[in-house]
Structure 1
Amino acid sequence: SRVGSVERKRGTRDDGTLDVVRQVLHLLGPLDARQVAGFLDAPVQDVRARWPRDAVPVDVEGSARDLLEEDLPGLATAARPDGDRVVRLLGPYDLFLQSRDRETLVPDAARRRDLWPVLGRPGAVMVDGEVVGTWRPRARGRRLGLDLDPWVPWDRSTARAVEQEHERLAAFRGLEPS
């Protein structure tokens, strides 16, 4: 396969479902070999040598990436045709936030510094797959508060959905929301 001017030998050492390259591409894709290598802290050449045979090229905002063929249907149906918004509070170390493709996830450099500081990471407020702010828990006795930093104005439905996520998080921790 050819992506840009880089030619890859596909599948020369694919270990199937036990291959870490395949698993990173499945869990965090679409990615390119450089991004997978960065996540695994491995040489790009080794990652390319293990590139899965069934990886297919996709375009991510003008950048060539690959995705496992079996994951294409999930990507195609990720948009919610019913119009319901999906709002989630992701913890600071949620797998979604661990990808090395931070520039795609959060294009603004200042916002990336807010979400991934050296110490004391906040969580991310996600709306339909986009990071729209950060959150930090504030437990006081039996109550759990959230410090929210919206990066964009939230409409009422988003604010209500964040409140519902706050209630779910508090219940999970055995606390009351405040």
Structure 2
Amino acid sequence: MIELSLEQIRNFRLYTHHLDRIFAKTDIDKLVGACGMQNTPPGAWETALYNRVPGCSLSEMDDLLYTEKSLLQAWSLRGIPVVFPISQSHIFLSALIAEEEEPWIYTSGISLALDFLQMDFNDLFRILQQVIPQLDDCAIMSKTSLDQTLADRMLPLIPENKRVLWSQPSMYGSPDKQTVGGAVVSFLLRPCAWKGLVVFGERQGTSPMFTSYKNWTGRSLIPEKDACKELVRKYLHCYGPANVNHFVSWLGCSGKQGRRMWNTVSEEMEPVSALGKKAYILSSDRERLLQPDSTERELLLLGGHDPFLDQRDREVLQPDKTLHKQIWKLVTNPGVVLYRGEIIGIWNAKKEKNGMDFTITLWKSIPDRPYLYALAEAYAAFRQIRLLGVEIMI
């Protein structure tokens, strides 16, 4: 069995995540489609694309999403908003559809509402699918309004003896804004997304718009039989060497669904030893893994939710596990200082009235530390915010 070194793995992942050099705007579909780009918190995908195509402006990114519509935003892996090429909708949406007896991604929390209503998941999902096609002819602003509008439209179809319960305040933390029905809809919107029944439209200020895939693109979402294979290939290419548990965690799915999908490409993968453990790579990636290439970019300021940071074997990114809690938070992560594929520090940008202050914390010294100032200045320019100052702490 091949033994892979830490340096080989880091070099390979920099290459597959397109962080080894600067790319052109003509490559954007390839870059965004590598494994999708998370867009929570809002703007995360813009920072990720900027780190691969610094020459692409914010307005050009908006055009790709809202005017050209070559890219699409929808709830995808782990149930989070993800931006991906619209041509790959079957991979980032249809592939996630659960099969019989597989729980749907993201929906485990719905059980509290189901117990309160004493209703079945599948029955409620069928009712929602009866009313949500109304999005084919309209768009709804804000997630809160989307939840409640659809819950109200479901109400006449809910058994009469359950309607009072359906309209009770939510038990999920926002009883003043959400009903129990609205909470149910919130969970079920993810499965609806994977069927092409709801996507993100153009953002209006701080509020996203929601409509159907058909209304946004002009055509229905058509599942393709090899979508699962294509998704697993993407994962293994970007995050290999990996195992099925890594894949399940990245996708946020059940073990049953993850294993089914993983096994669709079993004949295309082979075992290797990585960090002393058995893992798998695509056989087609073996040669590149064993022959690392030089990178044109060694030092980067990555956004805190860059897809490169979704590696499940986090010790590859930072061997010192005591530092992991500083990198991966429960809500919003800081940005990271990446040097040759290793996280050597974190950064935060604080918006002030007149501009942006940058704070960088390093855990080890680097030869080109002054370059960090240039990177911070370039990022502020991309965000169209004046850089007030950069503080580097070691």
Secondary structure of 1:19 counterpart: helix
Within 5 Å, which residues of 2 pair with 1:15-54? 15=226, 18-40=229-251, 41-43=253-255, 45-54=259-268
Q: Do structure 1's residue 175 and structure 2's residue 389 form an aligned pair?
A: no
TM-score, normalising length: structure 1: 0.76
C-alpha RMSD over aligned residues:
2.7
Q: CA contact under 8 A between 1:17 and 1:23: conserved in structure 2?
A: no
**Alignment partner, residue 36 of structure 2:** none
**Alignment partner, residue 154 of structure 1:** 366
Which AA in structure 1 matches 2:336? A
**Alignment partner, residue 5 of structure 1:** none
Moved more, 161-170 or 67-76: 67-76
Which AA in structure 2 matches 1:169? Y
**Alignment partner, residue 336 of structure 2:** 124
Aligned match for 2:350, one of 128, 132, 138: 138
Question: Higher RCO, 1 or 2 (CA under 8 Å, sep at least 6)?
Answer: 2
Shift of 1:67: 1.9
Aligned match for 1:101, one of 300, 313, 327: 313
Distance 1:162-1:17 versus aligned 2 partners, 3 A rule: farther
Q: Which runs of 5+ in 2 are unaligned?
A: 2-224, 390-394
Aligned match for 2:281, one of 64, 67, 72: 67
**Alignment partner, residue 115 of structure 1:** 327
Post-superposition Cα deviations, 1:58-80, rounded to whole Å, max 9, x if no partner, equal 33222222222333444345452
Q: CA contact under 8 A between 1:22 and 1:52: conserved in structure 2?
A: no
Task: State how many pairs are aligned.
Answer: 162
Q: Do structure 1's residue 163 and structure 2's residue 373 form an aligned pair?
A: yes
Distance 1:49-1:85 versus aligned 2 partners, 3 A rule: closer
How many angstroms apart in 2 are the aligned matches of 1:160 and 1:77? 31
How many angstroms apart in 1 are the aligned matches of 2:360 and 2:321? 19
Distance 1:47-1:16 versus aligned 2 partners, 3 A rule: closer
Post-superposition Cα deviations, 1:141-175, rounded to whole Å, max 9, x if no partner, equal 343221111111333x1x12222221221111012
Greater strand fraction, Structure 1 or Structure 2: 1
Which AA in structure 1 matches 2:282? L
Moved more, 28-37 or 18-27: 18-27
Distance 1:123-1:64 versus aligned 2 partners, 3 A rule: same
Greater helix fraction, Structure 1 or Structure 2: 2
Secondary structure of 1:124 counterpart: strand
How many angstroms apart in 1 are the aligned matches of 2:306 and 2:331? 16
Which AA in structure 1 matches 2:316? T
